[in-house]
Structure 1
Amino acid sequence: MDYQNTIAFAKELDSTDKLRDFRKQFFIPQHNNKDAVYFNGNSLGLQPKSTIDYLNQELEDWAALGVLGHANARNPWVNYHESLAEPLSRITGALPTEVVAMNQLTVNLHLLLATFYRPTRERFKIICEAKAFPSDQYALESQVKLHGLSPSDAIIEVHPKEGENIIQTDDILKVIDEHGSSTAVVLFGGVNYYTGQVFDMPAITYAAHKFGAYAGFDLAHAAGNIQLQLHDWQIDFACWCSYKYLNSGPGGVAGAFVHEKHAANKELPRLAGWWGTSKKNRFQMHPQFDPIPTAEGWQVSNAPILSMAAHKAALAIFDKAGMEALLIKSKQLTKFLFYILRDINEKHHRKVIQLITPQNAHGCQVSLFMLEQGREIFEALIDHGVIADWREPNVIRLAPVPLYNSFEEVWTFGNIIQTILNK
């Protein structure tokens, strides 16, 4: 496609966008009585207008039924989480029995590591990305220490080459080859939170398995953003949050994936809780834990119904839109954004914006390293009603998401930066 840096061209793209009406299903933050340009869905997705109806139904049933709502609510609470498995499986490329909505992301990561990180004298290392999201770093360090090991010995971080911003797949595979025989787990983010780089999950998984290590992924920035085929890629375990691209509310209920080859193995060790035990025996209060032979067997507590109601509202929108259509529009939005940013550099006859997101491996998120006036430009964007994200030292993170962002908003963002630089 021959792109043009004009509002007319952006509006033409919007006129042919098959998903354009989905924007009407979300509340858009306001700035000076107009819709803000909300490019922060990588931190917190917008609220679906239907969320309040889903929540109100559960609040009404709670008010009318009290504890009887567990069995008699219109959506009985005792098995409420089961209704989320199929829509989550479509988003993650998994079997419904391999996914479960539960807890928070880092809680789920700890629960999964309790099963899959079982270090021995010969096999004790964890290979991960350097500068992963801090919560992952804290989780890995604490897990290693719980086993009486030193993080400096057990945690192997893969860094970008000097002078580069992203980690090349070949460098990841090289580290796995070097440490594979002593590695227990390879754990990466599906998408790096800072750069927006999508990691080659199938290649990483294959390399880990070649040495007998488990492969796991933090999909916080991947779920609802990029194509996932967790089952077919033979990934062992994964977890994610729901408040970013999945639009399920601040601190919304998270999710977990356990491949069926492990989920059906009731002998796997785990940190057990009563909601993960056999449904037939759960309320008989047996002292012996009998794990459900699906991903549900990693549950520890009963479902947070109000949080799950918000999650259910958002997943219904994903089902209506379809992941295939969302992925197509996502690529179109980011291609247009890349074009706009390159055009800004060309018009200034010098590079004022450095793209640190790889153009051949990305989702919705595009990260810009501002070479000039970074903080001033970010603050000016706020003044003009653009809600983006700032990361030190000079990075602006943007996420034009296909459910509610438009091509005109991408053009508007670029035009604001152009106006600021012209001054």
Structure 2
Amino acid sequence: VIRKSDGSVLPIARGYQPPKADNLGQVVVPGALVSCNLDAVGICNPVLGSRTIVLSAKPLLLPDTDTIQQRLLVIVMDYSACRYPATMNQTTVRTIFLGRKGDGSGGIAQRYTQCSYGKFNLNTTAFKVITAKSTVPCTDVAVKQCADWRIAQDGDARAKAVLGEKEFSSFTHYAYIIPGNMSNSQCAWKGLAYLPGQQIWLKSTTYSVSRWSTVMQEALHNYGGLWHSWENGVEYEDYSTAMGSGVACPNAPELAYLDWATPAPGGDRIDSNLLPAGTALTFSLPATYLSPDGNYLRIVPDWLPSYRTNVDAKNLYIAVRVNKGGDSSMTLYYANKLNIHEVNAIMVRQYVYSDRKVSFVTAAAPQSRTNLTAYKLVVYGGSWVSTDILRIHVCRYQSSLTECPS
């Protein structure tokens, strides 16, 4: 899609693939500034053979690592003319997002603040919910094809009519909630978002708008850089994070990417120089819910031949997860243990919107020893040294596990 200056989006003609580089050799990246010819029905339809010129080589929407106060407009879609009336009222939606008191001390707003340590918040004063009853003729594009761009166009048009252009443009982000009885065959998703962007789409269902982690996943997509989290080679299968299928805060590599947390002292780059073979390093890690300070380790296994290739080079992230705070609903498979994730080592910052494929590797209990054979690394879960602070040790070997302490 192409986003216009007023925040609305235009669909690109089906089948069109933008070039990897423009006619001058500049790489075309998501978020770049472009122009486009519109056809008679308002779809961006580039002319075959036309020249492509990147007007701004730098993406216009970069991940925001400063404290965020999101100004969110929630638009409850009402397609009564198509026999799909709104199935959620404004009071219910407001409670879901801001909690029973309506002040952000509960609901989704509370989880945003908890998971981000206060760096990602809903602006409760600016927050607004409206119901958008479509006044345009019923179209299959919206209600049968569930085209996100058309739903957004319908919602935006009605919102602007109710609020006016100035107030509509004062919001930084927009959420569209579709009717519950439109949620099954037409819309085969739990939530949608632009990555990067300003818009998300949710259903009037328990697993969608009523599940804070689903909403958080879509919201974080908007800020770019975070895709879905994997486990056992399956996308979404990581239940230790909202970016997978978990009811939990982001995992360690996601926290690191967002700049919401910092590594333990001496734990930012544990490579072959810092960790000679047969030796061990010791750290005390607080559970991620406790503090953003010093709550993870980053292992850089440059001792592996595979680390020299862009595809196979991976870093490991180690953090302690406890089912309290924002992680209170985390399942016991992950909770009260060390969580170990891997992520592509090359695609960190230079590929801003590419999928680095964050993947859960394993969970290690206290008083345990885990041999990560693919990395020739041993991770020891030690003892709890204080409330939800765990001592851990790491050791690498060249040939055999016996090179490390037993």
Structure 1 and Structure 2 fold alike (TM over 0.5): no
Tell me which of the two structures has the higher relative contact order, counting C-alpha pairs closer than 8 angstroms and 6 or more residues apart. Answer: 1
> TM-score normalised by the shorter chain: which range applies?
under 0.3
Scaled by the length of structure 2, what TM-score is found?
0.25
Structure having the larger proportion of residues in strand = 2
Scaled by the length of structure 1, what TM-score is found?
0.24
